[in-house]
Chains A and B, each alone.
Chain A
Amino acid sequence: MPEIIVKPSNLKELWKMLPGLPARRRYLAGGTDLVTAGVAGVEHSECWIDIGDLPELGSIKEAAGSLFIGSGVKISEIESSKAAARWCPALVAAIPHFASPSLRNMATLGGNAANASPCADGACSLVAEGASVLLALKGKKRRLPLVDFFLGPKLTALKKDELILGFEIRKRRHAGAYLKLGPRAYFGISKAAVAVTAELSGGAVKRVRVALGSVAPVPLYAARTSAFLADKKLSAETIAEASALVRTEASPITDTRSEAAYRLDMCGVLLERALKSLA
Chain B
Amino acid sequence: MKNSLLAADKGFFGISAAVNGEKKELSVRNAESLLDALRRHGWKGAKKGCDTGDCGSCAVLLNGKPVLGCLVPAVAAHGGEITTIEGLGSVHNPHPLQQAFVEAGAVQCGFCIPGMILSSKYLLDRIPDPTEAEIRKALDGNLCRCTGYVKQVEAVKNAAKRLKSRG
Contacts and interface: CB of A to CB of B under 8 A. Distances in A.
B30 A2 contact: yes
Given A6-B6, A102-B56, A106-B67, A39 B51 contact: yes
* Most chain B beta carbons < 10 A, residue from A102, A105, A106, A186: A102
B30 A28 contact: no
A31 B31 contact: no
A38 interface: yes
A103 interface: yes
Contacts of B52: 36, 39-40
A101 interface: yes
A58 B68 CA distance: 20
A214 interface: no
B130 interface: no
Contacts of B53: 32, 35-36, 103
A206 to B, nearest CB: 34
B68 to A, nearest CB: 5
* Most chain B beta carbons < 10 A, residue from A2, A6, A101: A101
Contact of B4 (A8, A35, A186): A8
B5 A102 contact: no
A53 interface: yes
Nearest to B74: A5
Nearest to B33: A35
Contacts of B141: 99-103, 187
B75 interface: yes
A5 B31 contact: yes
Interface string B56-93: 10010010011110111101101100000000000000
Nearest to B65: A105
What band does the interface of chain B fall in when counting residues whose beta carbon is under 8 Å from A? 35 or more
Nearest to B58: A102
Contacts of A5: 5, 7, 13, 30-31, 73, 75
B138 interface: yes
A3 B29 CA distance: 9
A25 interface: no
B42 interface: no
Given A9-B4, A38-B31, A52 B76 contact: yes
A178 interface: no
Nearest to A80: B126
A265 interface: no
A238 B140 CA distance: 37
Contacts of B2: 7, 9, 53
A231 interface: no
Contacts of A8: 4
A86 B75 CA distance: 36
Contacts of A241: none
A17 interface: yes
A38 B29 CA distance: 15
Please name the 5 residue pairs, one residue from A and one from B, whose CB atoms are nearest each other, closest first: A100-B141, A1-B31, A4-B7, A102-B66, A105-B65
Interface of A: 1-9, 13, 17, 28, 31-32, 35-36, 38-40, 48, 50, 52-53, 76, 96, 99-103, 105-106, 186-187
Given A4-B6, A32-B53, A35-B53, 16 more contacts: A1-B30, A7-B4, A8-B4, A9-B1, A9-B3, A9-B4, A13-B4, A36-B53, A40-B52, A50-B75, A96-B137, A105-B65, A106-B68, A186-B137, A187-B140, A187-B141
